[in-house]
Amino acid sequence: MTYVGESRPALPGADDSSGPQTGAPGFKDVVAAYVGLTKPRVIELLLLTTVPVMFFAARGVPPLGLVVATVIGGTLSAGSASAYNCVYDRDIDEQMRRTRRRALPRHMVSPLAALIFATVLAVVSTVVLAVFVNPLSAALSLGANAFYVFGYTMILKRRTTQNIVWGGLAGCFPALIGWTAVTNELSWIPVILFAVVFFWTPPHTWALALRYREDYANVDVPMLPVVKNAREVGRQIVLYSYVMVATSLLLWPVAGTGPVYPIAAAVLGAVFLVEAHRMWGRARGTEDLSVIQPMRLFHHSNLYLSLLFVAVALDPLLFR
């Protein structure tokens, strides 16, 4: 399972202008560096779209062992994709304020060691999912990993403003994997949740990219806020937000949910749309980020997705 790497800010100190590490790193520093390669905060949000779907698929509480195996396999898979991303993007990471404190720009880990680390995680995650969950979930996880590395990181990211739109497909797979982990088959229900994350990703990531657009411009990564003004970015965020909310409401009739999910989806969606419209309104006639406040929408998008998937888990628990 993977998640687009631009979707979370760097660890505290990411704006630190200090250069590469000069002293000999200690054991704890090296361990922290390897953990940092996996982008743990990305994994947190990713798992939040996996486990609730398992509850929904089980129409209650899924087997604990199955949840543990899926979480371990998914964590290792996502960590592998992130580590591969760090290896490939180390040249631009070293130039961006947001990422220059990562392990490879600071020379805490060599590119070869990071590549081996990423490969080991990929192999172990696939084995864990295939043996302790099922082959379908393992195949979906491996496919998402490969698409993120080859499709997004190596092909799309540096070539098109649509990088995060189609590259974001990789981050949608946890919904499918959570469902297949329980049912060992696909259906329209996880596809709808897959689509919710797909349409959520552009507003979420473009808000962050707007905040760091100078970073992306300096390394020639054509994120939408680099090539379009803030007003146009805001307009597209609003459009994607409407489709996202409409898609989220489809789960109610298709899956036959109880009242918890549709009420939560409607309320959360309405609040998100208000916030998206407000940012678009602030972007009209100005490029001043202190006025536009894109990080406000970014943080709100995290809350939206988290609470929506909490509702996915709670609905079958309260109304079986």
- Percent of the chain with pLDDT strictly greater than 90: 83
pLDDT at 1 over 70: no
pLDDT at 24: 66
Residue 36 is predicted with a pLDDT of 93
Helices (H), the chain: 27-37, 40-47, 51-58, 64-88, 90-93, 111-132, 135-146, 163-167, 173-183, 188-211, 213-218, 224-227, 230-255, 260-283, 289-292, 294-318
**What gap in Å lies between CA 1 and CA 152, rounded to an integer?**
14
Backbone phi, psi, residue 239, to 5°: -60, -50
pLDDT at position 23 is 56
| Domain limits for position 103 | 5-19+28-318
Range with lowest mean pLDDT among 9-18, 121-130, 150-159, 215-224: 9-18
Contact 172, 205 (CB under 8 A): no
Half-sphere exposure in the Cβ direction for 134 (13 Å, CA): 14
Q: Percentage of residues in the chain with pLDDT exceeding 70?
A: 92
Averaged pLDDT, 309-320: 91
Kindly list the distances between the CA atom of residue 53 and the CA atoms of 47, 56, 212, in Å, as whole numbers in the listed order: 10, 5, 32
What is the average pLDDT across 49-74?
96
The domain that holds 192 is classified in CATH as: 1.10.600
Q: What's the number of domains the chain is made of? A: 1
Highest mean pLDDT among 163-167, 285-289, 293-297: 293-297
The model's pLDDT over 164-187, given as tens digits with 9 standing for 90+, comes to: 999 889 999 999 999 999 999 999
- Tens of pLDDT along 13-45? 333 334 444 456 778 889 999 999 999 988 887
Q: Please give the mean pLDDT across all residues of the chain.
A: 91
DSSP letter at 61 equals P
pLDDT at 12: 32
Distance CA 59, CA 162 (A): 37
pLDDT at 192 exceeding the cut of 80: yes
Across 2-11, 142-151, 173-182, least confident range: 2-11
pTM: predicted TM-score of the whole model, two decimal places: 0.90
Q: Which pLDDT belongs to residue 216?
A: 94
State yes or no: pLDDT of 134 exceeds 80. yes
DSSP helix/strand/coil, 20: coil
31-45, 224-238, 250-264: segment of lowest average pLDDT: 31-45
The closest alpha carbon to 178, from 189, 164, 163, belongs to 189
